[in-house]
């Protein structure tokens, strides 16, 4: 899901050991499920359970002919509600509409001036940047996913969509840029016609900042960002840092232009809201880089298609991801963390998907750069639900493994991938089956591509699940989330907005 470019330093490869055969462990799940049931949890290295899943054609045999819940609304309404007006877009629309209402009101009343507009610019940029600050993200996730399972499902299913806060980021970012366009126009007019004490430096700096923001917005457009992700990342980082410095210069010059006669500049800055908002913005941007470090990595080769990297510098929470790189100023790649149940370390799965991941697999690193904190993601909501279906395709098993190993709620996994054991190795697959013995492994190379919506619906009905978590590529994620939510089943998957 991340951009793929750039070599990584070489390192030693650690081959996954083959664990000794053990007797299956019998585990009673009566306290975790609605009906008492005893299941056999296979020991690592025991492939019998995997074989039963693989040969379990009877499970999905004829599922296409089963009767399923009908979609709840006519097609046009469904498309508007669940696709065009997703929570992300609703947040964007509300934010943008509110800003434009104020914008039009000021313009119509002829009360717009550079001072009023400057507050709108800095306020929108402040909210936009805060919605991408990892401490803020983790705090919001902690608050919105704190509901106990006894809370009505309606409240929990809405709160679980906290990962759509990117709509506030983009809505305020675009609104702030539009406000800046008005500010630049008004500042230029006031300077040319000597309508205010605004200085030439203020006008020039504001024009430069506007140019930088417009370039950043162009690269942030979804289709452009998807095709030119590295360029999007570079422009956001380097042009963003440049704009941050220039905003400081703009604020100081603007305060200086408008301060009272004989008022010291430090005193005027101290009593300016824009100055303090900019202090918080700067701190939020700098803070993750203060936690930049190079950490030890233990690489375990799963196959020629995948590698598992182990870290021990922190203990991440459920549903989090970290960003890793070999070149901090060049690129960063996000991966879901998998805390080890019995060891004080965590891991992540890197599967071959491009140049960068290929070099990680072919030349496993011994050290990598990390920065900031493990950041909450979509499956952080899992503990709010009593029972949950997890749907993973290929390396999407990484975020799901996090929830499975934690074991806070009963889950059932549907994992589709070609040659699961050949790709991810016996040890990892056995570990998944040990903690989720009812896992359905669907080998797409043997059985072809399934209808994941209908297969997930079958599992939801049998497992009596309250929600479904989906970790897959963008196309399948959107298809599954739409297919389930349009039938009234809460489904959550990444929205690919960064």
Residue 498 pLDDT greater than 70, yes or no: no
CATH architecture, range 293-376: Beta Barrel (2.40)
Residue 6 has pLDDT above 60, yes or no: no
CB 49 within 8 A of CB 42: yes
More confident residue, 230 or 311: 311
- pLDDT in the model for residue 5: 40
Q: pLDDT at position 66, please? A: 73
Above pLDDT 90, what percent of the chain? Answer: 63
pLDDT tens readout for residues 178-212: 999 999 999 999 999 988 899 999 999 999 999 99
pLDDT at 59: 67
Neighbours of 303 (CB within 10 A): 17
Residue 31: pLDDT band by 50, 70, 90 thresholds?
A: very low
Give the model's confidence band at 452: pLDDT under 50 very low, under 70 low, under 90 confident, else very high: very high
- Please tell me the distance from the alpha carbon of residue 142 to that of residue 165, in angstroms, as a whole number: 14
Report the Cα 28 to chain-centroid distance in Å.
35
Alpha-carbon gap, residue 481 to 470, rounded angstroms? 7
Predicted structure pTM score = 0.84
What pLDDT, in 10s, does the model give residues 393-446?
998 999 999 899 988 999 999 999 988 888 898 889 999 999 998 899 988 888
Q: How far apart are CA 185 and CA 193, in angstroms?
A: 12
Tens of pLDDT, residues 218-265: 999 988 988 888 889 999 999 999 999 999 999 999 999 999 989 999
Task: Please give the pLDDT value at position 47.
Answer: 44
Residue 277: pLDDT band with limits 50, 70, 90 = very high
Burial track 364-394 (b if 16+ CB lie within 10 A, e otherwise)? bbeebbbbbbbbbbbbbbbbbbbbbbbbbbb
Residue 368's pLDDT is 96
Answer whether 328's CB lies under 8 Å from 369's CB. yes
Average pLDDT rounded to a whole number, residues 458-478: 94
How many residues comprise the chain? Answer: 498
pLDDT at 18 over 90: no
pLDDT of 97 strictly over 60: yes
pLDDT at 3 over 70: no
DSSP string for residues in 202-252:
HHHHHHHHHHHHHHHHHHHSHHHHHHSHHHHHHIIIIIHHHHHHHHHHHHH
**d(C-alpha 470, C-alpha 482), whole Å:** 11
For residues 130 and 132, give the distance between their C-alpha atoms in angstroms, rounded to a whole number.
5
Which position has the higher pLDDT, 127 or 109? Answer: 127
Asked whether 169 and 150 are in contact (CB, 8 A), the reply is no
pLDDT tens per residue across span 121-180? 999 999 999 999 999 999 999 999 999 999 999 999 999 999 999 999 999 999 999 999
40 pLDDT more than 60:
no
Residue 37 has pLDDT above 60, yes or no: no
- Is residue 365 pLDDT above 50, yes or no? yes
Q: Which residues of 119-128 are buried (b: 16+ CB within 10 A; e: fewer)?
A: ebbbbbbbbb
| Dist CA 176 CA 96 (whole Å) | 9
pLDDT at 280 over 60: yes
CB 161 within 8 A of CB 177: no
pLDDT in tens, 45-75: 444 444 444 444 456 777 777 777 788 878 8
pLDDT at 297: 95
Phi, psi of 38 (to 5 degrees): -110, 125
Would the pLDDT of 94 be above 50? yes
Inform me whether the pLDDT recorded for 448 exceeds 60. yes
Interstrand relation of 440-443 and 375-376 (parallel, antiparallel or unpaired): unpaired
Phi and psi at 146, nearest 5°, equal: -90, 0
Strands 320-325 vs 333-336: parallel, antiparallel or unpaired: antiparallel
Closest CA to 180 of 238, 254, 108: 254
Is 352:306 a contact under the CB 8 Å cutoff? yes
Q: Do 182 and 103 touch, CB atoms closer than 8 A?
A: yes
Q: What is the mean pLDDT of residues 349-378?
A: 92
Delimit the domains of the chain by residue range. Answer: 86-290, 293-376
The beta-carbon contacts of 185-189 under 8 Å, at least 24 apart in sequence, are: 186/112, 186/113, 186/114, 186/117, 187/114
Other CB atoms within a 10 A radius of the CB of residue 216 amount to: 18
User: What is the pLDDT of the chain when averaged over all its residues?
Assistant: 85
DSSP 151-220: S-HHHHHHHGGGGGGHHHHHHHHHHHHHHHHHHHHHHHHHHHTT-S---HHHHHHHHHHHHHHHHHHHHH
Task: Give bridge partners of residue 197 from the DSSP assignment.
Answer: none
Q: Which percentage of the chain shows pLDDT scores above 70?
A: 88
């Amino acid at each position: 899901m991340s951009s793929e470019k750039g070599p990584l330093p070489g390192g030693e490869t650690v081959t996954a050991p083959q664990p000794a055969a053990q007797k299956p462990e019998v585990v009673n799940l009566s306290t975790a499920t609605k009906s008492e049931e005893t299941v056999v949890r296979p020991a690592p290295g025991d492939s019998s359970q995997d074989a039963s899943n693989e040969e379990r054609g009877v499970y999905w045999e004829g599922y296409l002919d089963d009767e399923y819940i009908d979609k709840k609304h006519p097609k046009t309404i469904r498309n508007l509600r669940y696709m065009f007006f997703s929570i992300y877009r609703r947040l964007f629309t509300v934010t943008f509409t509110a800003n434009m209402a104020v914008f039009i009101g000021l313009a119509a009343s002829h009360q717009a001036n550079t001072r009023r507009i400057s507050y709108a610019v800095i306020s929108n940029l402040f909210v936009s940047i805060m919605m991408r600050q990892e401490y803020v993200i983790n705090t919001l996730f902690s608050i919105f996913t704190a509901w106990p399972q006894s809370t009505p499902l309606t409240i929990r299913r809405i709160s679980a969509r906290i990962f759509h806060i990117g709509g506030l980021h983009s809505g305020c970012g675009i609104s702030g840029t539009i406000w800046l366009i008005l500010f630049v126009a008004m500042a230029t007019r006031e300077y040319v016609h000597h309508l205010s004490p605004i200085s030439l430096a203020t006008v020039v700096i504001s024009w430069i900042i506007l140019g930088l923001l417009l370039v950043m917005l162009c690269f942030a457009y979804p289709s452009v960002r998807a095709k030119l992700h590295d360029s999007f990342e570079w422009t956001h980082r380097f042009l963003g840092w440049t704009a941050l410095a220039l905003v400081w210069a703009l604020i100081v010059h603007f305060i200086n232009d408008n301060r009272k006669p004989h008022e010291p500049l430090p005193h005027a800055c101290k009593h300016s809201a824009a100055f303090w908002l900019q202090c918080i913005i700067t701190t939020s941007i700098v803070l993750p880089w203060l936690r930049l470090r190079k950490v030890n990595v233990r690489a375990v080769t799963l196959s020629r298609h995948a590698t598992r990297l182990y870290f021990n510098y922190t203990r991440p929470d459920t549903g989090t991801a970290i960003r890793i790189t070999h070149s901090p100023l060049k690129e960063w790649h996000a991966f879901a963390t998998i805390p080890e149940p019995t060891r004080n370390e965590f891991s992540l799965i890197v599967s071959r998907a491009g140049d960068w991941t290929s070099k990680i697999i072919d030349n496993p690193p011994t050290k990598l750069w990390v920065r900031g904190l493990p950041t909450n993601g979509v499956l952080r909501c899992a503990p709010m639900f009593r029972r949950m279906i997890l749907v993973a395709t290929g390396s999407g098993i990484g975020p799901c493994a996090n929830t499975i190993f934690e074991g806070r709620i009963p889950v059932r996994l549907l994992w589709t991938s070609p040659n699961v054991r050949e790709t991810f190795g016996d040890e990892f697959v056995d570990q998944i089956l040990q903690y989720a013995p009812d896992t359905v492994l669907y080998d797409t190379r043997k059985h072809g591509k399934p209808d994941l919506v209908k297969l997930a619906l079958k599992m939801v009905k049998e497992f009596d699940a309250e929600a479904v978590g989906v970790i897959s590529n963008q196309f399948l994620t959107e298809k599954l989330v739409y297919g389930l939510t349009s039938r009234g089943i809460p489904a959550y998957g990444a929205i690919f907005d960064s």
